[in-house]
Amino acid sequence: MSALTKDQIADLLESIAQMLELKGENVFKIRAYTNAARAIETYSGDLAKAAGENRLAEISGVGKAIADKLTELIVTGHLMYYENLKAEFPPGIFEMFDLQGIGPKKIKALWEKLNVTTIAELEKACKDGRVAALSGFGKKTSDNILAAIQSRAKHAGRFRLGEIAKDAERMLEELRGLPDVLQACVAGSYRRNKEVVGDLDFIVATNSPAEVSEFFVKHEMVESVIANGATKSSVRLKSGIQADLRVIKNTEFPFALNYFTGSKEHNIIMRQRALARGWTLNEYRLGPLENSKSEPPPPIHEERDLYRALGLDYVEPELREDRGEFAAAEKHTLPDLIEKENLRGTFHNHTTASDGRNTLAEMVEAAQELGLQYLGIADHSKASFQAHGLDADRLLAQVAEIRELNKTFGGDFKIFAGSEVDITKEGALDFPDEVLAQLDYCVVSVHNVFNLTEAEMTKRIIKAIENPYVTMLGHLTGRLLLSREAYQVDHAAVIEAAAATGTIIELNANPRRLDMDWRWWPLAKEKGVKCAINPDAHSTSHLQYLHFGIGIARKGWLTRADVVNTLPLGKIEAVLQAKRNAKK
Ligand code: DGT
Ligand code: CA
Ligand code: CA
Ligand code: ZN
């Protein structure tokens, strides 16, 4: 069996903690497992090596008893303790943990008192009133559970891009490494950088289709084979996502790649443009229409040639959504999209001072390793007490610490001292202006009271960004993709207000958020609102989320000039100060 990843090991520890909670074990024992899960997730060394040398107990947060279990798990790939524990529960019960707003205590009560052990049984028990009648539940809780079940059903079979990217890239890399493979690509919504994808579409050009298909369906990431044909295979990966493979001839590659990249809407117009020129376009070729008197199409070697043949500039995959790309490609006005290499720094990152998992020093080191010139620290403010938000004293102490640290970088690197300040229900800020004035910048976000009307929520946010010390607005809608709906807010009105006040809007790059949504960035850009791509990092590894943020920024038609954190040190400072200076 293949080595377990740190994430897989951490997940296993988390599920042990969940099971112990279901059993009603004491909190210290449970916390030992959740702490160990966090410790493993953020451990930077080689786990297999540490296990081999019996040194796992040296990792801070991992006790002796858990270290022994981890050694067994890492060395043998199995953990008897976990298997035995799991066997004590009905198998369906674990899926209930996926439901938003219901934890181990409730699941335990449902199991013991109503004998509910699957989501299907739970849905029934909600509908016939048994859940509402249960002590500690009530009608409101029952309704919330039902809503969570319905939302889960709606999202079934869809996956956040950030969570399947590893699988997609690994399969692609291995396909490209096969001797028989001439060209390979992931097409579909993945290539278009959609925030949520249904399945993965691999396109491979080869003269040995049988060998390539065999490699694909027998890959160790595959859980089951759905279809295995001469030119198309489909599998279910262990992560749950379906993956399709299409094997084609090398000459067909640009057509197949273009067709299977989609979107469907984009394809329809491509085909119409071909027809208008007397040609036929499908997933294999561009050819003359029967009985057509038109010139035959030019030779096509790559996608670019296809676009040129149809009278268009090359359209980047992210823009292929039929949202204006054809008109722009005809007029040569497509944007020169931002690239990963353009980023110089980032804002909105957390440390152990609030709910982050790494210290300020560790976050700085990670940012430097990524080649960034600056890192903005924006820990939570005091109203986010569940995230250990900082009060003014702790915040100002952190500011002083940052100013001291900055002296050690000799101008090559800079930490910007900020805060992620809560917006109160009324649109006030969690710190007074005197405190905000001592920061380099501030991000404001809504973290509670989501159930306002659209008008109230819009007013609340606009009031907050009217404050001259507010540099940027964090995660505009609060959505958690595939799990929590966005709260009601008038995007256009907020964008208008951001333009009027000179407030930057964040593109939160956490793959669960990707908020503000890509569909709104063209409007923001038109109004002159700038974007900041922020990972909302709660650990060093989360800085990698920037990558997904770039994907969404590209999907939102943004260029380097539209995104403030492409500016180098020396230029970015003025942008952070602009709004408060304008008010003086
Ligand atoms: P997904 O998988 O639901 O996230 O979205 P896609 O876009 O990857 O869709 P998928 O996997 O069903 O098909 C891949 C591409 O193949 C799609 O983007 C466009 C093309 N395609 C599929 N079905 C049709 C169709 O009926 N007409 C046209 N014109 N293109 C299609
Ligand atoms: Ca797809
Ligand atoms: Ca597909
Ligand atoms: Zn936040």
| Ligand number with the minimum distance to the CA of 259 | 1
pLDDT tier, 8 (very low <50, low <70, confident <90, very high otherwise): confident
For the residues of 537-579, what is the DSSP string, one character each? BSSGGGGGGHHHHHHHHHHTT-BGGGBGGGSPTTTHHHHHHHH
- Reading the block at residue 568, the tokens are 């180098």
Give the homologous superfamily in CATH for domain 340-582.
Answer: Metal-dependent hydrolases (3.20.20.140)
Can you give the pLDDT at residue 104?
87
Question: What's the CA-to-centroid distance between 196 and ligand 1, angstroms?
Answer: 14
Instruction: State the fold for domain 255-331.
Output: Beta Polymerase; domain 3 (3.30.210)
| Identity at 407, one-letter amino acid code | K
Q: Whose CA is nearest to atom 1 of ligand 1?
A: 198
Strands 242-248 and 232-237, by their bridges, are antiparallel
Q: Beta 443-445 vs 420-422: how paired, if at all?
A: parallel
pLDDT of residue 290: 86
Task: Please report the pLDDT score of residue 281 as a whole number.
Answer: 96
Mean pLDDT of 404-428: 96
* Smallest CA separation from ligand 1 atom 23, residue: 264
The pTM (predicted TM-score) of the whole model is: 0.81
Report how far ligand 4's centroid is from the alpha carbon of 299 (Å). 51
Q: How far is the CA of 311 from the centre of ligand 2 (A)?
A: 27
Query: How many Å lie between the centroid of ligand 3 and the Cα of residue 92?
Result: 29
Secondary-structure class of domain 159-248 per CATH: alpha beta
Q: Which ligand is nearest to the CA of 198?
A: 1
Q: Which atom of ligand 1 is nearest to the CA of 267?
A: 29
Band (220; pLDDT cuts 50, 70, 90): very high
Å from CA of 267 to ligand 1 middle: 9
The closest ligand to the CA of 257 turns out to be: 1
Q: Ligand 2 centroid to 242 CA: how many Å? A: 9
Q: Which two three-digit tokens encode residue 170?
A: 């690994």
Residue of the CA atom closest to atom 18 of ligand 1: 262
Query: 421-446 burial string, b = 16+ CB within 10 Å, else e?
Result: bbbbeebebbbeeebbebbbbbbbbb
Give pLDDT tens digits for 433-462: 999 999 999 999 999 999 999 999 999 999
Q: What is the pLDDT of residue 249?
A: 97
Would you say 476 and 494 are in contact if contact means Cβ atoms under 8 Å apart?
yes
Distance 483 CA to ligand 3 centre (A): 23
Query: Ligand 4 center to residue 532 CA distance, Å?
Result: 14
Q: Ligand 1 pocket test: pick from 155, 186, 189, 195 the residue with the most ligand atoms within 8 Å of its Cβ.
A: 189
- What per-residue confidence (pLDDT) applies to 1? 40
Q: What is the pLDDT of residues 378-398, one digit of tens each?
A: 999 999 988 899 999 999 999
pLDDT of 490-511, one tens digit each? Answer: 999 999 999 999 999 999 999 9
**Which of 161, 203, 260, 318 has most ligand 1 atoms within 8 Å of CB, for mutation?**
260
Q: What is the DSSP letter of 201?
A: E
Mean predicted confidence (pLDDT) in 34-53: 87
85-136: pLDDT as tens digits: 999 998 888 888 888 778 888 999 999 999 999 898 999 999 999 999 999 9
Q: Report the C-alpha dihedral over residues 357, 362, 365, 371, rounded to 10 degrees.
A: 10
Kindly give the interhelix angle for 161-176 and 546-555, rounded to the nearest 10 degrees: 90
Contact residues of ligand 1, CB 6 A cut-off: 188-189, 194, 197-199, 201, 259-260, 262-264, 267-268
Nearest residue (by CA) to ligand 1, atom 10, is 188
Residue closest by Cα to atom 17 of ligand 1: 262
Q: What is the pLDDT of residue 208?
A: 96
Closest atom of ligand 1 relative to the 266 alpha carbon: 29
Residues with Cβ within 5 Å of ion ligand 2? 188-189, 199, 201
Cα–Cα–Cα angle for 106, 42, 98, nearest 5°? 25
**3-state helix vs strand vs coil in the chain, percent to 5:** 50, 15, 35
Substitution candidate for ligand 1 out of 264, 265, 284 with most atoms within 8 A of CB = 264
Specify the CATH class of 6-154 in words: mainly alpha
pLDDT at 95: 85
Q: Of 4-8, 171-175, 421-425, 521-525, which gets the smallest average pLDDT?
A: 4-8
List, as one string, the DSSP characters of 377-430.
E-PBBTT-GGGT-B-HHHHHHHHHHHHHHHHTTTTS-EEEE--EEEBPTTS-BS
Would the pLDDT of 44 be above 60?
yes
CA atoms within a 13 Å half-sphere pointing along the CA-CB vector of 519? 7
Domain map of the chain by residue range?
Answer: 6-154, 159-248, 255-331, 340-582
What pLDDT shows up at residue 583?
65
pLDDT of residue 69: 95
Encoded tokens for 297: 């199409």
* Residue identifier of the C-alpha nearest atom 27 of ligand 1: 264
C-alpha 527 – ligand 1 centre gap (Å): 33
Q: Which atom of ligand 1 is nearest to the CA of 262?
A: 18
Task: Report percent pLDDT > 70 for the chain.
Answer: 99
